[in-house]
Amino acid sequence: MSHATPAPAANFIRNLIDEHRAAGKWDGRVETRFPPEPNGYLHLGHAKSIFLNFGLARDYGGACHLRFDDTNPEKESQEYVDAIKESVKWLGFDWGPHLYFASDYFDTMYACAEYLIQAGLAYVDSLSADEMREYRGTLTEPGRDSPYRNRSVEENLDLFRRMKAGEFPDGAHVLRARIDMASPNLNLRDPAIYRIKHATHHNTGDKWCIYPMYTYAHPIEDAIEHITHSICTLEFEDQRPFYDWLLDKLAIGGFFSRPLPQQIEFARLNLTYVVLSKRKLIQLVEEKHVAGWDDPRMPTLVGARRRGYTPEGFRRFTDQIGVSKSDGWIDYSVFEACQRDALNDTALRRIAVLDPVKLIIDNYPEGQTEDCFAPNHPQQPELGKRAVPFSRELWIEREDFEETPPKGYFRLYPGNSVRLRYGYVVTCTGFERDADGTLTAVHCEYLPDTKSGTPGADAVKVKGNIHWVSAAHAYEAEVRLYDRLFRTAQPGQETGNFLDDLNADSVKVIRAQLEPALKDAAPEQSFQFERHGYFVADRVDSKPGAPVFNRTVTLKDSWTKAEKQA
Ligand code: ATP
Ligand code: MG
């Protein structure tokens, strides 16, 4: 890990691990795994799980496995595998030699299934899916035994082998664990463990036409890899008895030794103003509501990276929200604040005029240029200062001039003086508008003895302080002003369709006037554009010497304010 990490806060999982270690369980070993299914790109929710699992392994001197849980052939692909690896690395984690694919264990899973049949703990059922649902019962009514439940071991084995050999169509039979159709826990009412699926798998090709169910495969994957703490989200809590039942039986069968892995559930991340379901993310991409998986508005990790969010910002966020047993919502502004804080520490300061209008200094000699000096980071003087060229014609922000100033407005208006940050004090002398009334230029005169950093510069007191770039030296570039992709906290909550809540103004593409130093920005380099926010040189569209910029986050949280007013 590259982050300088403060001591992690205690949480119920760390407490449990401390107890296990004190008792000598697993000889004190801590081995975790992050097990994505390669059926989509990772999202902000996955980051919570990544920091948790890899963080535990790091802090306890253990290992965290990256395991692709690729037991379902239909929606998985190599593209997703590659993107997932890249995102985990980007967040700063390394799985070392521990890269695994669940599909590499299909032979063992199959052998375990034959063992269960032989031990009378599994049977082939031939009910239709509808019938099976009917036999399962409900939360208040017990289930009923399938008429096939008492098939002999020989018949079960024969049918299962013929399922594997491809003799039956999809859905003709399933292999079920034989537990208890009257269990109050529906997950123990003879859960399906293998189904027939004639589909090509991204890793095993056409070798298999039966595939293990997730709830059967996952405990076996953990046991094969000698995982100690198998951490998953709360909705798997009711699956834990099956997890334990299965591994106990397979330990008796000699497949695995004790102590077996232990499943521990924690609350998933629910974040406002985004959607964190792969199905919805795929829909956003396929229906072209966004430009792709890495669109900077997407709550994917590839999108977050392009947006300019940083691994350090994710670290702060996951630290701050902690790990608990109860579900809740985290406001998106909490995530943004963590990203803003992380960027504040590292991003160099630069000047950018996003909505440019000319400021002409009528008493400054034409053709003359001089340097002003601006600090690269006001809180870190050791980062030095850079020269910013000053000349007769500058670009300033359109909103830094008002013909008739509202109350409390201290910037440019006829007769008023302001400081051009790092430069001179100027007094507004006039302005020009075109036939439509649009402001085209502001005129002023400068006070030669007021240059910042020179003796007596502060003798003239002004209330306003505005930024600028020299028109002759500016670098004009595309800047994308990104905002939240959804305009409501829980997209789709009211209408049932999350797409109804897309924010129509989630991106605005402008041409901005930037200080010349920004021309050399490297892709993925982040800056604070003074008074505006944090921006990053886009890693995809920037060309050498011609970067384009994405707004990562504004300096202040405008959404929370707007919500309070609403
Ligand atoms: P989906 O339900 O949208 O398909 P998933 O949770 O099934 O997503 P996986 O690829 O199976 O996606 O997830 C890999 C790991 O990431 C799992 O261990 C899961 O618990 C964890 N994870 C997924 N979403 C979240 C979330 N919102 N918060 C915390 N952990 C999550
Ligand atoms: Mg899943």
Q: Where are the domains of the chain?
A: 12-268, 278-349+477-565, 352-467
In angstroms, the CA 399 to CA 394 distance is: 15
Is 451 labeled as catalytic in the residue annotation?
no
**Residues near 440 by Cβ (< 8 Å), separated by ≥ 6?**
357, 358, 432, 433, 434
Ligand nearest to the CA of 40: 1
What's the pLDDT at 559?
Answer: 80
For the CA of 37, the closest atom of ligand 1 is 10
The answer to whether 175 and 192 have CB atoms below 8 angstroms apart is yes
For the CA of 236, the closest atom of ligand 1 is 20
In angstroms, the CA 463 to CA 448 distance is: 18
Strands 63-68 and 31-34: parallel
Cα dihedral: 332, 337, 342, 348 (round 10): 110
Is 268 labeled as catalytic in the residue annotation?
yes
Bond before 73 cis per omega within 30 degrees: no
Q: Which long-range contacts (CB under 8 A, 24 or more apart) does 275-279 make?
A: 275/299, 275/486, 275/491, 275/492, 275/498, 276/43, 276/44, 276/45, 278/39, 278/40, 278/43
The answer to whether 472 and 391 have CB atoms below 8 angstroms apart is yes
Which of 39, 42, 43, 49 best tests ligand 1's pocket when mutated (most atoms within 8 Å of CB)? 49
Mean of the per-residue pLDDT values for the chain?
A: 96
What's the pLDDT at 560?
Answer: 74
pLDDT in tens, the chain (566 residues): 444 556 778 899 999 999 999 999 999 999 999 999 999 999 999 999 999 999 999 999 999 999 999 999 888 888 999 999 999 999 999 999 999 999 999 999 999 999 999 999 999 999 999 999 999 999 999 999 999 999 999 999 999 999 999 999 999 999 999 999 999 999 999 999 999 999 999 899 999 999 999 999 999 999 999 999 999 999 999 999 999 999 999 999 999 999 999 999 999 999 999 999 999 999 999 999 999 999 999 999 999 999 999 999 999 999 999 999 998 999 999 999 999 999 999 999 999 999 999 999 999 999 999 999 999 999 999 999 999 999 999 999 999 999 999 999 999 999 999 999 999 999 999 999 999 999 999 999 999 999 999 998 989 999 999 999 999 999 999 999 999 999 999 999 999 999 999 999 999 999 999 999 999 999 999 999 999 999 999 999 999 999 999 999 999 987 876 776 65
Sign of CA dihedral 552, 556, 557, 559: negative
Task: Give residue 438's identity as a one-letter amino acid code.
Answer: T
CATH 3.40.50.620 fits 12-268, yes or no: yes
Three-state secondary-structure class, residue 395: strand
The answer to whether 430 and 401 have CB atoms below 8 angstroms apart is no
Q: Token digits for 324?
A: 């608990």
Give the residue, by CA position, lying nearest to ligand 1 atom 18: 232
Query: In the block, which residue shows the tokens 């030794």?
Result: 257
CATH 2.40.240.10 fits 352-467, yes or no: yes
Q: Which of 344, 318, 315, 342 is nearest to 330 (CA)?
A: 318
**Residues near 530 by Cβ (< 8 Å), separated by ≥ 6?**
349, 350, 351, 352, 421, 467
Strands 464-466 and 417-420: parallel
Task: Give residue 56's identity as a one-letter amino acid code.
Answer: L
**Residues near 321 by Cβ (< 8 Å), separated by ≥ 6?**
48, 269, 330, 334
Task: Give residue 123's identity as a one-letter amino acid code.
Answer: Y
Three-state secondary-structure class, residue 227: coil
Three-state secondary-structure class, residue 238: helix
The answer to whether 50 and 301 have CB atoms below 8 angstroms apart is no
In angstroms, the CA 179 to CA 182 distance is: 9
Q: Token digits for 504?
A: 């129509």
How many Cβ atoms sit within 10 Å of the Cβ of residue 494? 10
In angstroms, the CA 175 to CA 291 distance is: 43
The answer to whether 243 and 237 have CB atoms below 8 angstroms apart is no
Strands 393-397 and 192-196: unpaired
The answer to whether 247 and 218 have CB atoms below 8 angstroms apart is no
What's the pLDDT at 2?
Answer: 43
Structural class in CATH, domain 278-349+477-565: mainly beta
Q: Do domains 12-268 and 278-349+477-565 have the same CATH topology?
A: no
In angstroms, the CA 47 to CA 315 distance is: 9
Instruction: Tell me what percent of the chain is helix, strand and coil, each rounded to the nearest 5.
Output: 35, 25, 40
Rg, C-alpha atoms of the chain? 31
Structure confidence by residue, pLDDT tens digits, 112-159 = 999 999 999 999 999 999 999 999 999 999 999 999 999 999 999 999
Q: Which of 437, 434, 420, 404 is nearest to 361 (CA)?
A: 420
Q: Token digits for 344?
A: 């504040």
For the CA of 281, the closest atom of ligand 1 is 3
What's the pLDDT at 566?
Answer: 58
| Helix/strand/coil (H/E/C) assignment for every residue in 124-186 | EECCCHHHHHHHHCCCCCCCCCCCCCCCCHHHHHHHHHHHHCCCCCCCCCEEEECCCCCCCCH
What is the 128 CA–ligand 2 centroid distance (Å)?
A: 25
For the CA of 38, the closest atom of ligand 1 is 10
Select which of 14, 21, 25, 37 is catalytic.
Answer: 37
Three-state secondary-structure class, residue 42: coil
Q: Which region holds residue 435: left if phi is over 0, alpha if psi is between -120 and 50, else beta?
A: alpha
CA 406 to chain centre: 42
What is the 271 CA–ligand 1 centroid distance (Å)?
A: 14
What is the 323 CA–ligand 1 centroid distance (Å)?
A: 15
Select which of 58, 67, 164, 278 is catalytic.
Answer: 278
Is 278 labeled as catalytic in the residue annotation?
yes
